[in-house]
Structure 1
Amino acid sequence: VVVEAKSSKVKEPISEAIDQLMRYMEQRGVTGEGNKELFYYNQFIVTTCRTEAKFGTITTGIEKYFYRWYDPYPLGVNDLDHGKSSPNDQQRLVAGMLAPRNLLDIIRVFTVFASNDKGQKIKVVGRYQQFRAVKVATKRLIDGKNPLERGGIIWHTQGSGKSLTMMFMVREMKLRPALMSWKIIFVTDRTQLEEQLAETGQSIGFTIKPAHFINPRSTPDGKSLKELLSNDNSDLVMAMIHKFQENGELSGLEIFPELNKSAQVLVMTDEAHRSQYSLLAANLDCALPNATSIGFTGTPTAKTEKKYKDYIDKYTMRQAIDDGVTLEIVYEGFTHNAEVADKKGMDQKFEDVFSEYSLTERLQILGFGSRDAYLDSSRTIQEKAESMVNHYVEHIFSGGFKAQVVANSRIAAVRYKAALDTALAAKLAELKVANPMLVNLTQLAALTTAVVISGSHNDELEIKAYTSAEYHKKSIKRFKLPFGKTDAEDKALDGNVGIIVVNNMLLTGFDAPIEQVLYLDRVIIAHNLLQTIARVNRVGPAGKERGFVVDYVGVGQHL
């Protein structure tokens, strides 16, 4: 561990300390100015000026990715020798990271190598809330006398690294003699988590078995969920919700029989508040009557609390913002809520939008389903798309950031793409005449849009064009890349997708730091709303100081 300490009297002590560490590591582009051999076996680096202290790794080149270690767990704040004043950041970090036992645990369990959005290999060290949650959870697994005492909820706000916490949990269990023989089952609908676990599993020597089907095939191959649950192997099983949905098994799910009575089974559910998990979760309870359940969520609900009873660890949105792990979100309302002041004006608007419909059809629209009909209307979408493009080009695009549009339905998402393409072409033509903000017109001309929506067997052709898994994968890769860049593995994929349109997909678990604004044109409430707006709270490239949610449907009251 290399520590660079500065006087608190220095104007910008942390920035100066980081720059000095970069010089030592010869990462400023000048060969021979430092001693990079010193860092060949470096675990992490620390910058401190006593009142402020942060840590990073040899691949952390930007100050915003250096983090505090706020909690000295297993010590409490009052255990620190801090005199009359409150413990400062340096005291907390030294106690939490450099205590011999904690340091060895950080090296063995809480350090991973991963690839960033640019395809670069980076070194990641877990943060204090991940360390604390894993330590508390494994202690409960060992000390608890029944499944309820052993399980609980890990409430870590969106963007704070729940996926990595799960990785660290598996590593910790595999190093504990009392837990290394346990079977671990993940219930998730995130392909990203499946890929991360596959990489982590290889690095620490255990096998991951993804269950793509619930029921055994006509020729049993040991790969269905029921078959994987029935044995006592100390393996890791992935129950992939979205794959069960694609196979049509989730909707017609029958009650599971009892498959495994062992108490050495842990079920970890990602985003445990989700309603689509409820049926599968109930079946897992029947199949594994003595299993322990841990739910991971950023937005716990009353149902979550009822199932899991107790909280293992909490890390709130405010804590994450204070730590610099996530960004503040600015809300902008571009429409009013349900109370209509100008009802005459609204009637006129309705007549304008639905003039091509017959009287009978208009009466039907005014009744049940009127909101959906209005939100799916091509004319309404075109007007909103023009507003979105104006906002995006004037406030977001020049910073190199990207946008997500949440449409009311799948057909609305498809219509939004056409409307956005038209609005972008019109904006480009307008700026060619007068460009006072000096927008990069070459880049704007290259900007494209994409749609990521789910599919079904009876889809119309205009919807089916945007439901391919391969198209989704390529579109998401292009969206995450910076403008003008190409994918490291596939040079045919460029970063010119600037706006991605969705309906239900990519609203949870989608991590794209380059996304700064979300245009919301679908009514979403409660925990689902918090999950959705968190798409823009990720710490991103230079210049991203906050995220924006622009509301076109009037959900401000629900926030």
Structure 2
Amino acid sequence: MSLGSERKAVQNPFLRYAQEVGWTYLPPEEALRLRGGEGSPVLRTVLIEQLQRLNPGVVDSVAKAEEVLERLVRVRPDIEGNLEAWEYLKGLKTVFVEAERREKNLRLLDPERPEQNTFHITEKFRFANGRFRIRADIVLLVNGIPVVVVETKAATEEEGIAEALDQIRRYHEEGPELMAQAQLFALTNLVRFFYGATWSLSRKALFNWREQVGARHAAPQQTNGAPQPDFETLVKAFLVPSRILRVLTDYILFVRKDGELSKVVLRPHQMRATEKVLGRCRDPEKRRGLIWHTQGSGKTYTMLTVAKRLLEDPRFQNPTVLLVVDRNELQQQLFQNLEAVGFGHVHVAESKRHLRQLLKNDARGLIVTMIHKFDEADANLNLRSNIFVLVDEAHRSTGGDLGNYLMGALPNATFIGFTGTPIDRSAHGKGTFKVFGGGDPGGYLG
């Protein structure tokens, strides 16, 4: 099949479906003009305008907007720079406001009001850095910032997806200044549709979007037989502007393990579980919930995302979030490095006494502990209701006395159990189901 048919059968429909869900098409020449040349990864004029629009009184001039733009495009061309670019998108960066003589947070996106953002899609995106010149098939830009890079292949190319992934890898090597801005990538050949996080380029970090969308309404044990959606459904589900904003700001996670920074994007089942947990945590009538993720489906990252959202959301009024993990998780040091990636101050309970002290002294923020540190804990250690306890491997850690001590110490807390172990559905009403999911159909939230 010729390149023309790849364009006709895959690329053109992709562009059309994107426009139908709210993206504005920019011809390559117009995109190049707005960028100010091939060396710029951003639509300069769009970003300058949006910076002023989203930051009234903070970015109060074109000169100030240009200064922010230059800071953004000069981030390091690697995963560390990609984290910094994400922090800009997340609203964690500041700018000095002369009139108030203090730093104020910058907004580059408005996820709460999607209509306040601009959504552009363009093709044949040429980028040059003086050493290399690359050309991405499709690039999606929010407020002028390239956030998603898409590679398309003809359906008849047997190794099309593998070749597309190789191209994405090459862009990281030859155009890292562009890829430091982009947060997601997608690969499709009409029949197959994969996506992943930039700077996370192993084959196992690539997710099959077709399976994720097909499984959306299926129960955990029925996902393999779910009906498969068509290309239009896939593209539109992936590109809904409000969803892209949410993925960019809430469902990308940077973690440090053994000093090395890595990046994860959550899958739809993890996103749905997160939203269900947050809904349960907002419900004053219900104080329990169970999340059942099958093995290998990213339970730990779902827990971390829930914790982050609880701490960030002002509706939870500066809560305490306890992550109850097992020894293996703590030994991996993942939970001891959370401060470095935006969790604020993290307390790691070093002993039973230390944990009791933290709870008695009303420590806020994140507390990481192991279940055995609740052994013989006093009842009513903390009576606040905005305490949220996320329990890993809930099926084995909360049985018997330890679970009783945990719940007795924090009688008004909300307890969410996470399990990756297949559960005998006939056990509904017993064990883990009874402790965490008694009030939910089937015994679990998601």
TM-score range, shorter chain: 0.5 to 0.7
Matched letter for residue 292 of structure 2:
W
User: Higher mean Cα deviation, 180-189 or 233-242?
Assistant: 233-242
Deviations 1:285-339 (A, max 9, x none): 212111111001012463000111235544xxxxxxxxxxxxxxxxxxxxxxxxx
Q: Equivalent residue of 1:266, what SS?
A: strand
TM-score (norm 2): 0.56
Deviations 1:5-35 (A, max 9, x none): 1221222221121122223333xxxxxxx54
**Whose strand proportion is higher, 1 or 2?**
2
Residues in 1 aligned to 2:297 and 2:180: alpha-carbon distance in whole angstroms: 28
The verdict on how the C-alpha distance between 1:39 and 1:297 changes in structure 2, with shifts beyond 3 A counting, is same
Equivalent of 1:173 in 284, 288, 310: 310
Residues in 1 aligned to 2:357 and 2:349: alpha-carbon distance in whole angstroms: 9
The verdict on how the C-alpha distance between 1:107 and 1:232 changes in structure 2, with shifts beyond 3 A counting, is same
Residues in 2 aligned to 1:174 and 1:255: alpha-carbon distance in whole angstroms: 25
Residues in 2 aligned to 1:152 and 1:237: alpha-carbon distance in whole angstroms: 20
Matched letter for residue 310 of structure 2:
M
Residues in 2 aligned to 1:133 and 1:9: alpha-carbon distance in whole angstroms: 36
Q: Equivalent residue of 1:47, what SS?
A: strand
Matched letter for residue 87 of structure 1:
P
Matched letter for residue 297 of structure 1:
T
- Cα contact 1:136–1:312 (8 A) shared by 2: no
- Cα contact 1:184–1:265 (8 A) shared by 2: yes
User: Higher mean Cα deviation, 106-115 or 157-166?
Assistant: 106-115
Residues in 1 aligned to 2:175 and 2:356: alpha-carbon distance in whole angstroms: 55
| 1:146 counterpart = 2:285 | yes
Residues in 1 aligned to 2:397 and 2:281: alpha-carbon distance in whole angstroms: 26
Residues in 2 aligned to 1:313 and 1:12: alpha-carbon distance in whole angstroms: 39
Residues in 2 aligned to 1:17 and 1:58: alpha-carbon distance in whole angstroms: 13
Q: Which residue in 1 is equivalent to 2:192?
A: 52
| 1:103 counterpart = 2:233 | no
The verdict on how the C-alpha distance between 1:202 and 1:147 changes in structure 2, with shifts beyond 3 A counting, is farther
Q: Which residue in 2 is equivalent to 1:63?
A: 203
Please list, as runs of the form range in 1=range in 2, the aligned pairs for 1:371-410 lying within 5 A after superposition.
Answer: none
Q: Which residue in 1 is equivalent to 2:57?
A: none
Q: Which residue in 1 is equivalent to 2:320?
A: 183
Matched letter for residue 239 of structure 2:
L
Q: Equivalent residue of 1:225, what SS?
A: helix
Q: Equivalent residue of 1:280, what SS?
A: helix
Report deviation, 1:180.
4.9
Question: Could you say which structure has the larger radius of gyration?
Answer: 1
Q: Equivalent residue of 1:273, what SS?
A: helix
Residues in 2 aligned to 1:278 and 1:207: alpha-carbon distance in whole angstroms: 32
Please list, as runs of the form range in 1=range in 2, the aligned pairs for 1:320-335 lying within 5 A after superposition.
Answer: none
User: When the two structures are aligned, how many residues end up with a matched partner?
Assistant: 279
Q: Equivalent residue of 2:157, what SS?
A: coil
Report deviation, 1:166.
1.1
Residues in 1 aligned to 2:247 and 2:336: alpha-carbon distance in whole angstroms: 21
Q: Which residue in 1 is equivalent to 2:161?
A: 14
Q: Which residue in 1 is equivalent to 2:152?
A: 5
Equivalent of 1:293 in 396, 407, 415: 415
Equivalent of 2:230 in 79, 88, 100: 88
Report deviation, 1:268.
1.1
Q: Which residue in 2 is equivalent to 1:284?
A: 406
The verdict on how the C-alpha distance between 1:94 and 1:234 changes in structure 2, with shifts beyond 3 A counting, is farther
Residues in 1 aligned to 2:201 and 2:377: alpha-carbon distance in whole angstroms: 52
TM-score (norm 1): 0.45
Residues in 1 aligned to 2:268 and 2:235: alpha-carbon distance in whole angstroms: 9
Query: How high is the sequence identity, in percent, across the aligned residues?
Result: 33
Please list, as runs of the form range in 1=range in 2, the aligned pairs for 1:206-217 lying within 5 A after superposition.
Answer: 206-215=344-353
Q: Which residue in 2 is equivalent to 1:239?
A: 369
Q: Which residue in 2 is equivalent to 1:24?
A: 171
Unaligned stretches of 5+ residues in structure 1: 27-33, 78-84, 216-223, 245-249, 315-559
Report deviation, 1:59.
2.8
Equivalent of 1:265 in 387, 394, 397: 387
- Cα contact 1:71–1:92 (8 A) shared by 2: no
- Cα contact 1:112–1:125 (8 A) shared by 2: yes
Deviations 1:26-53 (A, max 9, x none): 3xxxxxxx54432120101100122211
Please list, as runs of the form range in 1=range in 2, the aligned pairs for 1:403-482 lying within 5 A after superposition.
Answer: none
Residues in 2 aligned to 1:120 and 1:294: alpha-carbon distance in whole angstroms: 30
Q: Which residue in 2 is equivalent to 1:256?
A: 378
- Cα contact 2:255–2:338 (8 A) shared by 1: no
Deviations 1:127-183 (A, max 9, x none): 2221111111112212x23234xx311111222221111111112122322125221
- Cα contact 1:52–1:90 (8 A) shared by 2: no
Equivalent of 2:301 in 164, 179, 195: 164
Q: Equivalent residue of 1:158, what SS?
A: coil
Matched letter for residue 92 of structure 1:
L
Residues in 2 aligned to 1:115 and 1:254: alpha-carbon distance in whole angstroms: 33
Q: Equivalent residue of 1:206, what SS?
A: coil
| 1:225 counterpart = 2:355 | yes
Q: Equivalent residue of 1:42, what SS?
A: coil
* Structural RMSD (CA): 3.0
